[in-house]
Each structure stands twice: as structure tokens, then as C-alpha cells.
Amino acid sequence: MQRKTHTAIAVLGALALILAACGGPAPAVEVTREVEVTREVQVEVAGTPQVEVKEVPVKFAEAGDTLKAVIDRGKLLCGGNAGVPGFGYLDPATNQFAGFDIDFCKAIAAAVLGDSEKIEVIATTGTTRFPALQSGEVDVLIRNTTWTISRDTSLGLDFAPTTFYDGQGMMVRKDSGVTALAGLAGGTVCVQQGTTTEKNLADVMRKLSVDYEPLVLADAQATREAYDEGRCDAFTTDKSGLVSQQILLKEPDAHTILNETMSKEPLGPLVRHGDNNWGDVVMWVTYCTIQAEELAITSKNVDEMLGSDDPVKLTTLGVEGDLGLALGLSADFCARVIRQVGNYGEIYARHLGPDTPFNLPRGPNELWTNGGLQYSPPFR
Ligand SMILES: N[C@@H](CCC(=O)N[C@@H](CS)C(=O)NCC(=O)O)C(=O)O
């Protein structure tokens, strides 16, 4: 039998006031109370039949009513990336954010506000991203963030469906002669702080008994530059991140990504734990893009599809039934998303497909009907 005691100590956070006093941006959600919860859990004592009670501290922000906050504000605040081309990138030429992750931010704005352009992207790093969401500075975090058990529980967050199934990789210079992780013995590896990458690197190298020196840096730019300047022999992050950073290196063709995949990195949007309706909104907007691809509904043919004789298409687009209303959205929320942003396949092709510098095969990000993992539950 498991006993769970929740001792809630509400610490009134003055973040909203501080931000207002400093003339900073208005917080996303009014409630920025930090809640500290102690969970008493029974843990098994290894190797014995005994069980002991352990106190696990958990700290998170009160979730608030994010849907209402977004509608009242008329703008969606997304925590994003500024330095990962293809996924989340602040293009210096246009001063606009663009990428695969940014399009999911736009999709939520299209569904909630009827306009995919009503977004503001707040750039975050590996270490600033979770506090930005926990404090209410952003409504949703969409930034190559891996779904892990501890982020889902101890950090007080909830993950929406995975938008990009990835794994960690290792980049080396072609002329180094290194063809496998074992070849990095005695070498230095550049890695970004506050990421799953840091821990996976330690675990994988320990398992392989490879001695190496980590060089830990604050953000993507610092990590890439350290590698480019030859301060380390290899650069590790998610394979998507490596492909992205490669085009920013001085000589992209002089580098290669090893075949080994060091971990599972399911990447997707996340919200504060406790605001279940907002979590559902982000979840079903994400699924809408996948469902539409499966039904061959695209940004080009969506209006034609409103007159389809397929009842599943009609329900998905809100022509029949009103599934969106129970989320606090309009019945046609998914049609708005597809009209303005496109289906999953269109989003993927726009930022990562053959007409981009990345040309990333869909791999596990194919639809389940094509042997991949992307699968939407029924719009029923
Ligand atoms: N998926 C991993 C790694 C994510 C991550 O932060 N990757 C880096 C390297 S590509 C990044 O996005 N940096 C962007 C930045 O610091 O501007 C995680 O969730 O911890």
C-alpha cells in the first residue's frame, strides 16, 4: 500500500510585481505562486524486503488558467530557441523566429486566437527554459526539449505529444580519423549545460569504459564555437541539433556525425502541470497536424475538404460535430491550424525536408501508416 501526503507550503512569489516595477514584460499568467510540495513515498530498500518512507521535495508554479490568459492578452508567449536553425532560429536577415518548433507555436495561436502570427517567441537556453515556463513568463515551451520522467514530475511540467523523435549523436572532424565513440578515449567533448545530453554522455562513456574530458558550455553558440575553435575533439547533442549546428560551422563539410545513437530524445512542447485544459489544447493542436497528414488534408486543399464526403474528415475539421468546444476553442480549430500552418508533413518539409539545407529523412517521424511513430488518437 502506498501512502502519499501532500504538504503544501505556498510561497507567494513577487515575480509579477518585480517585473512590473522593472518595466519588464507582463507575465503570461497572473498566478506566479511557487508551491512547494513534499511527497512522502515508500521506497524499497535495495536487496531487502523492507520498505522505508522517503520525503521527496517538489517545487512548481501554480498553473493558472493559461487559455484565458492567452485569449485576454491576444497573444501567445512561446519559450523557444534562437540558435538552432531548422527548429528555432532568430534569422538575423529578417529578425523573425522561424523553424519546425516555431510552427507548432504558430499552430496553437491559429487554434486559440485565429491568427498564427499572434505569437511572441522568448528565446531560452538549456538552463533558462524550465524557470521561464514554471514562473509563467511563457505559456508553452516549444524548444527541442526531451520528455523525461523527472521533468514531467519533479519540475511540475506536462508534456504534449512528441513532435520529433530524436537521439543523441556525436560530431567529429573528418580528418580526426574517429569513426566510433570508443575512438574518443583521452579526448575532450563539448557539451551544453542543463541538458539531457550532459548526463547521457557520462552514462554512455561509462558503459563503454571510455575516459574523456567534458567541456561544459552555457548555450548552443558557445558549445559550437568551442568545438569549431578546436577546444574539444567532439561535439555532442541531439542529432537534430548537430545537423542544425553543422551549417553554422566555419567549414561544415569538414565534419561528420558518428552512426551511433546514444539515447532516446523524444522532443515536444510542454506546459505547467495542473492546467489540464491548456495541456489538452496543446496536445490536440499537435495531434491535429498529424491527423490531417494522415487524412491528406493540407493547407492547399483544406477548404475543398470542408465539402468532403468522408465523415472522419468532416469531424476533424469541425464541419460535423463540435469537438473543439469542449477544449474552449471553436469547432473548426483544426481547420484553422491546417489552413494557416499546414499539416505535420508540410511543417516537416518546410523546415527540414529535401528543399532545405538539412534534408533530414523522416525516419521515426513518419506517420504510423508509413512505418513511423507519428500517430494521432481518433478525433471522435
Ligand atoms: N533535448 C535535450 C537537449 C536540448 C538542447 O538544449 N539542445 C541545445 C543544443 S542544440 C540547444 O537547443 N541549445 C540552444 C541554445 O542554447 O540557444 C534536452 O532537452 O535537454
- The alpha-helical segments, DSSP class H, found in the chain are 15-21, 66-73, 100-113, 129-134, 149-153, 196-208, 220-228, 239-246, 276-294, 302-305, 311-316, 333-340, 344-352
Shared domain check, 257 and 184: yes
Shared domain check, 286 and 238: no
pLDDT at position 27 is 41
The DSSP 8-state label assigned to residue 146 in this structure reads B
Smallest CA-to-CA distance from 86 within 267, 352, 361 is with: 352
The reply to whether 76 falls in a domain is: no
Ligand 1 center from residue 126 Cα (angstroms): 5
Residue 14 has pLDDT above 60, yes or no: no
Q: Which residue has the higher pLDDT, 33 or 45?
A: 45
The reply to whether 248 falls in a domain is: yes
pLDDT at position 42 is 56
Ligand 1 center from residue 220 Cα (angstroms): 7
Residue 153 CB neighbours (<10 A):
15
pLDDT at position 229 is 98
The reply to whether 59 falls in a domain is: no
Shared domain check, 331 and 277: yes
Residue 47 has pLDDT above 80, yes or no: no
Give one DSSP letter per residue of 57-91, joined into a string: EEEEE----HHHHHHHHTSEEEEE-SEETTTEEEE
Indicate the pLDDT class of residue 50, thresholds 50, 70 and 90: low
Instruction: Report the atom number in ligand 1 closest to the C-alpha of 87.
Output: 12
**Of 241, 263, 285, which residue is a domain's last?**
263
Query: How many CA atoms within 13 Å lie on the side-chain side of 4?
Result: 2
- Determine which residue's CA is closest to atom 8 belonging to ligand 1: 220
Q: How many whole angstroms separate alpha carbon 176 and alpha carbon 37?
A: 50
Ligand 1 center from residue 294 Cα (angstroms): 30
What does the radius of gyration of the chain's CA atoms come to, in whole angstroms? Answer: 22
CATH number at residue 193: 3.40.190.10
The reply to whether 326 falls in a domain is: yes
Ligand 1 center from residue 348 Cα (angstroms): 19
Indicate the pLDDT class of residue 24, thresholds 50, 70 and 90: very low
Pair 321, 315: CB distance under 8 Å: yes
Q: Which three cell numbers stand for residue 29?
A: 499568467
Q: What angle do CA 90, 92, 96 make, to 5 degrees?
A: 45
Ligand 1 center from residue 73 Cα (angstroms): 29
**Of 230, 263, 296, which residue is a domain's last?**
263
- Structural domain including 253 reads 168-263
Q: How far is CA 228 from CA 16, 26, 171, 232, 252, in A?
A: 41, 38, 11, 8, 10
Shared domain check, 308 and 256: no
Region 270-283: mean pLDDT is 96
The reply to whether 21 falls in a domain is: no
- Determine which residue's CA is closest to atom 20 belonging to ligand 1: 195
Ligand 1 center from residue 129 Cα (angstroms): 10
**Residue carrying the nine cell digits 511563457:** 138
Q: What residue ranges line ligand 1, CB within 6 angstroms?
A: 81-84, 125-126, 144-146, 192, 195-197, 219-220, 237-238, 241, 265, 267
Q: How many distinct structural domains can be found in the chain?
A: 2
> Which residue among 149, 195, 235, 270 has the greatest number of ligand 1 atoms within 8 angstroms of its CB, and so is best to mutate?
195
